Amino acid sequence: MSEKNNSLTVFKSDRHEDVAAIIFSGFLVAVVLTYMAFIVPSVNIKASQDGKLVELFVSEGAAVKKGDKLYSLELVKKKWVNNLMEEKIEVEIFTAKTNGTVLKVAGKAGDKIKKGKETILTLDHEKGTLP
C-alpha cells in the first residue's frame, strides 16, 4: 500500500493544508467583523474594572461621536513598588470608540460597578463601524 492511500487529508501536501487554513481563518475573521459592523444592533457598555461611577457625560437619546466622553469611573490602581503593594485611587474617563446614539443609561453617579457585570450604557453604533 502506498503512502498516498494512508493519508487522511484531501490536500496534496502540508503546504496546501496550511494555505487552506490561512484562507479559512481570513474568511472567518471577515464574517465576524461583518456581523459586528452590520448586524449587531446595540452594544451594552460594562465596566472593565471594579469601581465607582463618578459622572455620566451623556443622556438617553444623545448622539455621540468617536472620542466623546461617556462616563468616568473611580478605580483603585495597584502597583508593586520596592516589594510593597501601593494602591492609588484614580478617576478614569471612558470615551466612545465609534459614532452612535445612546439608547439607555442604566448607571447613576455614585453607583458601585462590578467588572463586566453591570451595564452602564447601551449604545446603538453607526452601521458599518465596529463597536
Task: Check which CATH number belongs to the domain holding 110 and give it.
Answer: 2.40.50.100
Assess whether pLDDT exceeds 50 at residue 37: yes
Residue 36 within any structural domain of the chain: no
Looking at per-residue pLDDT, the higher value among 1 and 22 belongs to 22
**Average pLDDT of the residues of the chain:** 87
Residues 61, 102 contacting (CB under 8 angstroms): yes
Domain membership of residue 67 (yes or no) is: yes
Helix, strand, coil percentages (3-state) for the chain, rounded to 5, are 25, 40, 35
- Whether 21 shows a pLDDT value over 80: the answer reads yes
User: Range of 53's domain?
Assistant: 42-125
Q: Which residues contact 68 (CB under 8 A, 6 or more apart)?
A: 57, 58, 95, 96
**Does some domain include residue 130?**
no
Domain membership flag for residue 98: yes
4 occurs within a structural domain: no
| Within-domain flag for 21 | no
Looking at the structure of the chain, the number of domains it has is 1
Judge whether 87 lies within some domain. yes
Predicted local confidence at residue 129, as pLDDT: 76
Phi, psi of 93 (to 5 degrees): -100, 130
Q: What is the pLDDT of residues 79-121, one digit of tens each?
A: 999 999 999 999 999 999 888 899 999 888 888 988 888 889 8
**pLDDT confidence bin for 3, thresholds 50/70/90:** low
What's the one-letter identity of residue 6?
Answer: N
Other Cβ atoms within 10 Å of 100 Cβ, number: 22
